[in-house]
Structure 1
């Protein structure tokens, strides 16, 4: 039996070629990703700053202080509201647009390019443009709302409206990416399902509900988790949009990444900031594990149906 196992796992020349070809990439990825993560976890256990020579070990004290800090709690709340707000509006909108384009309308390629254009546009110029649009005095958005009798709003200075503004900007920028993913998933659904459903009278909305949505469940899980992860990493929009009148960035809407940068590079509390980074890492890790678990559950269900 040992001989059969060894024979089964014996590497062939082609395997060695793949290993050697991937080794530099894996080494570079380890250096740029895994080592910084391990270093951040290590620093989070110390009272580490950028000035003092001595960096005493404090264990989990940074994490205890973290969850007793009001700015951190506010940052977590704001980040979660923004992340789930982006999820609630971006994913259904992308699904609806993808469904409309999948039906084969005229100039489909032009519409796809139009919706995908914000995705490839850098965030900084996009945020600056939206800051002009949402300006409380001369912005186009307030001018547009005035036609419906809506009074001008301070979109970038009111904490609640600033969060809404960040969600609007991010949804506009990310909906094209989600749309493309949904379009790819819809293209992979066999037309035989729709033809069989049409015989039973399930067309239009019924076909979308009973065929398209169930078949797109793995894609929907992937898009939802990726959107949430990007939402928890939001920073550039906040830095440019949600600043106070004096220009102090991040004052109106405090998010986790901004709080981390402020504590690390403004107050030099690198140990405390590293603890925040570890919390963000654990949130992203948890979301990734949920995605893998749901994907595995969907695969198991699909095998059961095939049987």
Structure 2
């Protein structure tokens, strides 16, 4: 039988352990190697056969802290420059702890008015920040891929509807392949989203005029004319290797001229809209039908967004 008082005491003790470990760990990050392989041997302590009896909350947390603060990749520190992610801000770190403490079922207003209201406020602020239309809907997702899934699912519904099919009810059977066109800057997460949606990872067509991947607008327009019907354009703001962007305004013009859906992948670069020096990179994004952006790549907050 579970003893609630004992569980409470164990939770308090475990949180105190983490709190005491946090201060020296955070202070040490500027001087640590990002990863010291000499400590990898400690990872063996996390492995082994499933025990018949657990060692308990406090002992388990102590072990994880001892191994983790030594053998982890110290990506929260200022010396980590890989995978375009940075350490959480103090507010984000504390917010993550609060999220675990409150443990909300955040999917519905009925289960958590707090979570629903917080998400609504954050999405409204993000729209104001990027200059996106106030009437747009939005959602916070766990990853850029799932943000693309959200936006491209809307595109898929729109495209199938133009063929007289309710794809939610009937699926894609009997429909032709959905035309998806992009530049050489398209990210693998866009292809992965198309794969998840059943549209096919390799159905996306790339139109690039050089090895860097810059979009070939002439060839793309010719392909749209050849399609002769609804199609999806994917514009990219902030390619992860070059930092360059597609001309979103020109793509928006194409989408308008040919009645296409424009989805903008702003995961890496949409925050360029906030600086006069870089605002040209995302100019025209408000004309898109759907947009994604990663918070952790520029603001170091733990969510991605889809609009």
TM-score (norm 1): 0.27
Higher relative contact order (CA 8 A, sep 6+): 1
Q: Looking at secondary structure, tell me which structure has more strand per residue.
A: 2
